[in-house]
Each structure stands twice: as structure tokens, then as C-alpha cells.
């Protein structure tokens, strides 16, 4: 079995296609279930955010795995496979490891260095665990990604570069509104991204914060947390009329704030400008709103362009160096671990041969006293151990290098080891508690960007 990643993200596809291919929570769960039961797959994790949809899997066959994962991803994303394929990326084994560690570290994010992705990777692993879709291999890999992601943010200055989507978006609308302190804001949504938006607005001393959501109970909880007010979705028009700034991030499958609704709200505003910040894919705010008078609309495409020059090169290079080194150590250790069953099977076979020969010696020399028999047994065991020491140590070292599996195959062939005996050896993979920041609140009805 080998690790395979098939995915699409803001780096591989235009946002218009990414918007159509975005997976909500239900679609991601159904994709995970179908991938888990694919003929080539042993383990699976689905990582779905507003700007990436990725399937991680342990597969028996590379080409068969790529075909199955691509077809399932296209099917659940609702995009024709022929249209999606040119924008898919595929990473295998070492490159798959490096990719996940880069993702978890924020190096592959739309805003380089953002730390929200750590919580999203952790949530993806937990969902796979709950669905019994993940086993020891992907569990170990994802936990390593969480550890490395946390180390990158602790040991480098990438957090200075890693402004959130919200921070960059707010900076983009500020020229139209002026300072945000004392302004009134409307947050549409009540999930993790909405919670971060509301907390950021409160930190910036925004005056009145109103939260609107389809579920008023969720809106009320978020509003209370930031000292704001909650309204039902039916009050959207008057809420838009009163707000200076709107931040929308619901994860809905369709537009929530239409141009007609905004036009109706403008009637009560006069010439007062209205800033619309759309942090969702698919869009929460109708792009046509940008054509309305006194309206400024900023979406993820604009944020991606603005964020391109925000990071510090030295911090990013330091983060990349950590990821590269950690990925190399992890893949070397993984390759060495894969040869361990062969080494155990070889030593087991050698021990069986020694025991059989000692039993035969005891039958041929029944008068041999116990002390002599023990000395003979000890000598034979030492000889076998010394003969096996060099090849078994060396094969573990060589297995940590690229192509190291060939040495394990050679060892198995040279000593005529039965493959079934090797496969019967089960070695538990290490894996402690998840080492990552606490989970952010998750909007069960949508995605986190």
C-alpha cells in the first residue's frame, strides 16, 4: 500500500471552477464513505475547505487509485471529470508526505502562513477516525503533519506573514469605509469562519455587530460571545440597510445575499458606502452587487491577489526548510519501518532453524550434560545473531533511502522468506495524542475557508 493524494485547490484551478467544485460538509462525508470502499483503497481522509478539496488514501495500485479517486472527487464535486482533470494534482508517497506537511504549515494556503488550516487538518482526521476510514498509516501521517505545522508556527515568524483571509479582506475594504472602529458590521453565518470574523471585528473596536444565520440559536450564541445582536435571516434587508460592513461566510450551496436584496437595502441608505466581504466558495454574495452604486465588494479572488505580496520571504523560506527536513525524516523512518516485518520474519526463521538443529543434536547426543547443552545452544545463537546483524542493520539503513524497498525485496529473495510469513508480522505504528491547537468551532452546515 502507498500514500496517494488527489486534489484541486486555488493553486491549480481558477476560482470560478473551484467555486463549483467546493464540497460542503455532507458532500465531503459522502465522498469519504465512497473512497473508503473503493477497490484500491485501504485508508482515506478527505480535506475540504473553501479553497481546496483533497483526498488522501492508502492505495494498493497507483494508476487504479488515481482513476478511482479522480472519478469520485469529480462525482461528489458535481463537476464533469473531463473538465476537472486538467486542474487536478496528484502526489504519491514522498511527495504526498511533503504536500500534507506544507498544507498543515500554511505554506500552500491562499494567505501564506495562516494557521486556520491546522484546525481544518485536525478536523479532517477526526472525521475520518469517526467514520472508521483511517488506519495506522494515515493516522501517523496526519499527526506528523499537525506536529510539523505547529512547529513551523512556533519556530518561525510565518505568523507575521500569515494574516487571515478576514484580516486581508478588511484591509481591502478600509479605503472605501475609512477606519473600522465605531462602524456597524453584519456577519452572515455562524460557523468557524464567522466566529473568527466576529472576533476580529470586536478586536478592531467595531461598534455594533449583528449576526444573521438561518439558525437563530447559532446566531445568538455567536452574537453573545462578541457582545453583539442576533437576527433571523428574514431580517436581512433591514440589517443590510443599517450596516457599514458585511462579512459573509455561510458555506451555503447558493447565493445568500442577492443583488436584489442589496438593491432593496440601498434605498434606505442614501449615499452611505456599503462594503461587502465575501469569504465563501461558492459565493455568498452575488458578484453583481459590485455594479451597484456606493457598494464595494471584495471576494476570495481579490484577497488572493492582495495576499500574494504580504508574506516575508525569510519567514517562508525558514518554514519551507523545516517542512523539507521533517518530510525527509518522516519518509526515511517510514521506509525503514516497512522493512521491519521482513527483518522480524528473517530472525524468526533463523530462530526456528536453530531450535530445530538443537533438538536434532539433543536426539543424537542424549548423554550430553545440561551445562554442555546450554553452552552449545548459546554458541549457536551467538553465531546466528552475528551473521544476521550486519545484513539486517544495513537493510534498515538502505531502506530509508529512495528505492530502499528493493533491498527489502532482495533480502526476502536471498533468504527465501515466505511472503505470507512477512505479511503475518504486524508492527504497531507509533502515534500519540493529537498535538495541535484546539479545534475551532465547526459550522455543521458548511465549510471553513
Task: Name the residues annotated as catalytic.
Answer: 50
251: closest CA among 163, 296, 173, 190?
Answer: 190
| Burial degree of 254 (CB within 10 A; 0-12, 13-18, 19+) | exposed
Pairing of strands 89-92, 229-232: unpaired
Other beta carbons within 10 Å of 435: 14
Residues, the chain, total?
449
Sheet holding 41-49, edge to edge: 41-49, 52-59, 2-9, 89-92
N-to-C CA span, the chain: 31
Contacts of 441 (CB under 8 A, 6+ apart): 191, 192, 195
Residue in this structure with the C-alpha cell 545440561, named with its chain if needed: 370
Let me know: does 279 contact 449? Beta carbons within 8 Å: yes
Let me know: does 326 contact 101? Beta carbons within 8 Å: yes
Let me know: does 251 contact 288? Beta carbons within 8 Å: no
Residue in this structure with the C-alpha cell 501521517, named with its chain if needed: 141
3-class secondary-structure state, position 431: coil
Query: In sequence order, which ranges of 78-162 are alpha helices (DSSP H)?
Result: 81-84, 94-104, 116-130, 136-155, 158-161
What is the distance between the alpha carbons of residues 288 and 258, in angstroms, rounded to a whole number?
A: 8
| Burial degree of 97 (CB within 10 A; 0-12, 13-18, 19+) | buried
Amino acid at each position: 500500500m502507498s500514500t496517494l493524494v488527489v486534489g484541486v485547490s486555488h493553486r491549480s484551478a481558477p476560482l470560478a471552477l473551484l467555486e463549483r467544485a467546493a464540497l460542503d460538509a455532507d458532500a465531503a462525508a459522502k465522498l469519504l464513505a465512497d473512497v473508503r470502499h473503493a477497490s484500491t483503497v485501504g485508508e482515506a481522509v478527505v480535506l475540504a475547505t473553501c479553497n481546496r478539496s483533497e483526498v488522501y488514501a492508502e492505495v494498493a495500485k497507483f494508476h487504479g487509485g488515481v482513476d478511482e479517486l479522480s472519478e469520485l472527487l469529480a462525482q461528489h464535486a458535481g463537476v464533469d471529470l473531463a473538465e476537472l482533470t486538467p486542474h487536478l494534482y496528484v502526489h504519491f508517497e514522498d511527495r504526498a508526505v511533503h504536500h500534507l506537511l506544507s498544507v498543515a504549515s500554511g505554506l500552500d494556503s491562499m494567505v501564506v502562513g495562516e494557521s486556520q488550516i491546522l484546525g481544518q487538518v485536525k478536523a479532517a482526521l477526526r472525521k475520518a477516525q469517526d467514520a472508521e476510514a483511517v488506519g495506522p498509516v494515515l493516522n501517523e501521517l496526519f499527526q506528523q503533519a499537525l506536529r510539523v505545522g505547529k512547529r513551523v508556527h512556533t519556530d518561525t515568524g510565518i505568523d507575521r506573514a500569515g494574516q487571515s483571509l478576514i484580516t486581508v479582506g478588511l484591509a481591502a475594504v478600509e479605503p472605501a469605509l475609512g477606519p473600522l472602529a465605531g462602524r456597524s458590521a453584519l456577519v452572515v453565518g455562524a460557523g468557524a469562519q464567522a466566529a473568527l470574523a466576529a472576533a476580529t471585528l470586536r478586536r478592531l473596536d467595531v461598534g455594533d455587530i449583528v449576526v444573521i444565520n438561518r439558525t437563530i440559536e447559532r446566531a445568538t450564541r455567536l452574537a453573545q460571545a462578541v457582545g453583539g445582536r442576533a437576527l433571523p435571516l428574514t431580517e436581512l434587508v433591514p440589517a443590510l440597510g443599517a450596516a457599514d460592513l458585511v462579512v459573509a461566510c455561510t458555506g451555503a450551496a447558493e447565493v445568500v445575499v442577492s443583488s436584489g436584496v442589496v438593491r432593496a437595502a440601498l434605498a434606505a441608505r442614501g449615499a452611505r458606502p456599503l462594503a461587502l466581504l465575501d469569504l465563501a466558495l461558492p459565493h455568498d454574495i452575488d458578484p453583481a452587487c459590485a455594479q451597484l452604486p456606493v457598494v464595494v465588494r471584495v471576494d476570495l479572488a481579490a484577497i488572493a491577489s492582495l495576499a500574494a505580496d504580504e508574506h516575508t520571504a525569510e519567514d517562508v523560506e525558514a518554514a519551507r526548510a523545516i517542512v523539507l527536513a521533517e518530510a525527509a525524516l518522516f519518509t526515511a523512518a517510514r521506509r525503514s519501518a516497512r522493512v521491519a516485518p521482513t527483518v522480524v520474519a528473517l530472525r524468526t526463521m533463523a530462530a526456528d532453524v536453530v531450535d530445530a538443529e538443537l533438538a536434532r543434536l539433543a536426539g543424537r547426543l542424549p548423554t550430553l550434560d545440561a551445562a554442555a547443552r546450554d553452552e552449545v545452544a548459546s554458541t549457536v545463537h551467538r553465531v546466528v545473531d552475528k551473521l544476521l546483524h550486519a545484513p539486517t542493520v544495513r537493510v534498515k539503513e538502505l531502506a530509508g533511502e529512495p528505492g530502499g524497498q528493493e533491498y527489502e525485496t532482495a533480502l526476502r529473495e536471498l533468504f527465501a522468506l515466505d511472503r505470507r510469513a512477512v505479511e503475518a508480522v504486524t508492527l504497531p505504528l507509533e502515534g500519540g495524542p493529537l498535538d495541535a491547537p484546539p479545534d475551532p468551532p465547526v459550522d455543521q452546515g458548511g465549510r471553513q475557508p
